[in-house]
Amino acid sequence: MEMRPPLDNDSWRILGLDIDGTLMHWGGDISDRVVRAVEQVRMCRNHVILATGRNIVATMPVAERLGIRRGYAVCSNGAVTLRLNPASPGGYDIIETVTFDPTAALALIREEMPDAFFAVEDLGVGFRVSREFPMGELTGRQIVVDSFEDLAHGEATRVVIRAPGVDVSHFDDLVHRIGLNDVTYAVGYSAWLDLTPPGVTKASALEALRRKLGVYPAHTVAVGDGNNDLAMLEWAGQSAAMGNAPAHVHAAADEVLGSVEEDGLLPLLERLIDPDRLAVL
C-alpha cells in the first residue's frame, strides 16, 4: 500500500479539470478570474490537466485560453492523451490512443433509434457522420459518409449518438436493455450518448499520467459535473463536483462547489495556490 507523504514544496500534484460545466460557462466563456487562478495553480507545482469528452479540435482552444502550452491533456473521455508542445504542428503531440471496433454497438443502437445522429471521431480533424449534426454540437470537420457501413468501418476512439427529442432516461434504459458490454458509455444531460473503448475513462488516462509523472495517489485532485466525470471523481485523492451537477455526481465527490455560472471552481483553485510554493519557482 502506498503511503501518503507530506505535501511540501517538493511534492507535485495533479489537478484533473473537466471543461464544459466546470471551467467553461454554458455560454462558452471561461472567466478571467478562473484563467488567472489556473495560471497561479500551475505555478505552485501542480500539473493542471484538462480531462474532457471533447475531441482534440475542441480542446486545444481551451488550453490556449488558459495559457497551458506545455503539459498534458486528456480528450475523448480518456481515449486520447496529448502532450502539449508549442513546437509541434497544432501545438500538441498525440502520445496515446485507445480504440475499439464500434460496429456491433452502432448496429444495436441504430436498430433501436434509426433516426438518431451518429458520429465517429476522426482524430485531429472532426467526425465522420451519418448526417450533419445541428450547428454547434460537434467541433471540427463533419464528413458525411455514403453508408452506415462506411461509418462503422474500422477502429475508433469515440462514437457519439444524438437523438433530439428523446428523454435522457430513455437512453439510460436503452443502454442497459441492449447490453453495451464491449464499450464504456456515458449519457449526457440531453439525449447524447458517448461511447469509448471498454475500460477507458478520464480516470484511466489520468492514472497513466499520474504514474508517468511520479505523483502520489493522495496528491491527485479532480473536478467535474457530468456522468463522464464519475470515474475521475472516484479516482482522485480529493474530488469536487460542481453545484450544477446532478445529485448522483455530488454523491461521488468529497465536496460540492458552487455552480459554473458563479465560477464555483474558484475556491478550490485558491486552496491550491500556496505563496510558499510560488516563491520556490
CATH number at residue 110: 3.30.1240.10
CA–CA gap between residue 10 and residue 138 (Å, rounded): 41
Torsion of CA 281, 32, 47, 137, to 10 degrees: -160
The domain tally of the chain equals: 2
220, 16 Cβ separation under 8 angstroms: yes
Domain check: are 59 and 180 in the same one?
Answer: no
What pLDDT, on a 0 to 100 scale, did the predictor assign at position 279?
44
What pLDDT, on a 0 to 100 scale, did the predictor assign at position 185?
79
Domain check: are 88 and 124 in the same one?
Answer: no
pTM value is 0.91
CA–CA gap between residue 104 and residue 178 (Å, rounded): 11
Last residue of a domain, one of 196, 226, 261: 196
Grid cell for residue 115: 433516426
What pLDDT, on a 0 to 100 scale, did the predictor assign at position 281?
38
**Domain enclosing residue 211, as ranges:** 13-98+200-280
Q: What is the DSSP string of 92-158?
A: EEEEEE--B--HHHHHHHHHH-TTSEEEEEETTTEEEESSPPPTTSS-SEEEE-SSHHHHH-S-BS-
In a domain, residue 160? The reply is: yes
In a domain, residue 8? The reply is: no
What pLDDT, on a 0 to 100 scale, did the predictor assign at position 264?
98
What pLDDT, on a 0 to 100 scale, did the predictor assign at position 7?
44
What does the pLDDT profile of the chain (281 residues) look like in tens digits?
333 444 444 578 999 999 999 999 988 999 999 999 999 999 998 999 999 999 999 999 999 999 999 999 999 999 999 999 999 999 999 999 999 999 988 988 899 888 899 999 999 999 999 999 988 889 999 999 998 888 878 899 999 999 887 777 777 788 778 877 778 878 776 778 899 999 999 999 999 999 999 999 999 999 999 999 999 999 999 999 999 999 999 999 999 999 999 999 999 999 999 776 654 43
What pLDDT, on a 0 to 100 scale, did the predictor assign at position 182?
74
Last residue of a domain, one of 174, 196, 218: 196
In a domain, residue 6? The reply is: no
What pLDDT, on a 0 to 100 scale, did the predictor assign at position 240?
98
Domain check: are 93 and 146 in the same one?
Answer: no
What pLDDT, on a 0 to 100 scale, did the predictor assign at position 163?
87
What pLDDT, on a 0 to 100 scale, did the predictor assign at position 164?
81
Last residue of a domain, one of 151, 170, 196: 196
What pLDDT, on a 0 to 100 scale, did the predictor assign at position 280?
44
CATH number at residue 26: 3.40.50.1000
Where helices occur in 214-273 by DSSP H, the ranges are 230-235, 247-252, 266-271
